[in-house]
Amino acid sequence: MDRLQGIFPPIPTPFSTSGEIDRPGLTKNLAWWNRYALAGIVVLGSNGEAVHLDRREKLALIELVRSETPEDRLILAGTGLLSTKESIRLTREATNAGADIALVLPPFFYRSQMTRDALVSHYTQIADASPVPILLYNMPANTGVDLDASLIVELSHHERIVGVKDSSGNLAKLAEIGGSAAPGFRLLAGSAGFLLPALAAGAVGGVCALANVAPSVCLEICQRFLAGDLEEAIARQRQIVRVNAAVTRGWGIPALKAAMELVGLVGSLPRPPLRPLPAEQVAELREILVEAGILEGKR
C-alpha cells in the first residue's frame, strides 16, 4: 500500500471530567493535527488507552476521527484483542466505522503458549477475514510477546498483511525484515526516539507519540532524510531524544497528555488506574519541552 508511509501520530483519547470521551476536545485536537502534512492518524493504539475503552467507545472514536480527518489521510485502528474471534469481529466493525487499516497486536495473556504456529494461525485468520489491510504491531514492552523477524517475514507474504509497526527499537531486526520481506511490505518505526535510524534501516515512516505535540520535527526528520540532508536530520533527531524519552518509556501516557496540555491541546487526565503526572514532573516536562524547542519559554 503506497499511502502507508510518512508520520502517523498515535493519538491519546481525551476524557471529560465525568470520564467519558471528550468529543469536542478531540475535535479540537484533530483540527490542529490536520494543519500538518501527516500521513494519517492512529486511533486505539497504546497511547490511545485502547485497553481502557469498551467496544462502544472504540467504534465511536473511530467514527469521530474519520469524520474529522481529510479523506486522503489514512485511519489506522487498533483491533488486536486476546482472542482470534474477537480480533476478527473488531476488525470488521472498525472497518465499518471508517478504519482504512487494522493495527493488530499479538495476543499476550497466555504468552507462553504463543508459539510460532499459534501466531501464524492467529494473524492468518484475521487477515483472511479482514475487509482492510493488516499492519502487524510489535510492542514487546507492553505485551511481553516479541514477533521475531522470520515470523514477520513469513506473514509478509499474505496479501492483506502490508507492514509492521515495530516498537522494539531493534534496528538489526528491521533491516533483516526489510531485506527479506515480500515486495512492498512496509516498515514503520514505533517511536520517534529511533525514527532516523529506522529510516536508514529501511522504514518508510513512523507511528510516533511525539508527533502528537511536535509533528513538524518528526516530519522534518523524514524530509531531511529523504532529501539526503543527513546532518540536519541527525540534528533534529538529537533535538527530540530527551523529550521523546519522557513521553514514552519514561513517564508514559500521563506525560504525553500533560505535554499536550502544555502546548495548548486537550490532553485531559488518563483513565484509571493510570494516574496523572505529578506536579513536580509536569514542571520538569515543561523544561524539557522548552529545551527541545517545542514550547516557548525561558531556557
pLDDT in tens, 179-213: 999 999 999 999 999 999 999 999 999 999 999 99
Triad 158, 120, 5: Cα angle to 5°: 45
Report the range of poorest mean pLDDT among 75-79, 149-153, 184-188, 244-248: 244-248
Q: What are phi and psi of 236, to 5 degrees?
A: -70, -35
Whether 298 shows a pLDDT value over 70: the answer reads: no
Half-sphere exposure of 50 (CA within 13 A, CB side): 24
Closest by CA to 192, choosing from 212, 211, 177, is 211
Task: Give the pLDDT of residue 299.
Answer: 37
Closest by CA to 37, choosing from 1, 71, 7, 4, is 7
| Structural domains of the chain in order of their starting residue, each with its CATH number | 6-236 (3.20.20.70)
Cell numbers for 73: 489521510
Task: Give the pLDDT of residue 297.
Answer: 61
Whole-structure pTM value: 0.96
Q: How many Cβ atoms from other residues are within 10 Å of residue 269's Cβ?
A: 18
Q: Give CA–CA dist 190/188, Å, rounded.
A: 6
User: Of 28, 85, 165, 257, which is the active-site residue?
Assistant: 165
3-state percent helix, strand, coil for the chain, nearest multiple of 5: 50, 10, 35
Closest by CA to 57, choosing from 101, 93, 17, is 93
**Strands of 74-78's sheet, edge to edge?**
6-8, 205-207, 186-189, 161-166, 134-138, 101-104, 74-78, 40-43
> Residue with C-alpha cell 529501511?
202
Task: Give the pLDDT of residue 2.
Answer: 82
Q: Give CA–CA dist 193/198, Å, rounded.
A: 10
Whether residue 180 contacts residue 208, with contact meaning beta carbons closer than 8 Å, is answered with: no
Model pLDDT for residues 86-104, shown as the tens digit of each residue: 999 999 999 999 999 999 9
Query: Is 165 tagged catalytic?
Result: yes
Residue type at 27 in one-letter notation: T
Beta bridge partners of 104: 136
Task: Give the pLDDT of residue 164.
Answer: 98
Cell numbers for 85: 474471534
Q: How many Cβ atoms from other residues are within 10 Å of residue 98's Cβ?
A: 17
Model pLDDT for residues 90-140, shown as the tens digit of each residue: 999 999 999 999 999 999 999 999 999 999 999 999 999 999 999 999 999
| Average pLDDT, integer, range 236-243 | 94
In angstroms and rounded to an integer, the radius of gyration of the C-alpha atoms of the chain is 18
Distance of CA 195 to the CA centre of its chain: 12
| Average pLDDT, integer, range 269-277 | 95
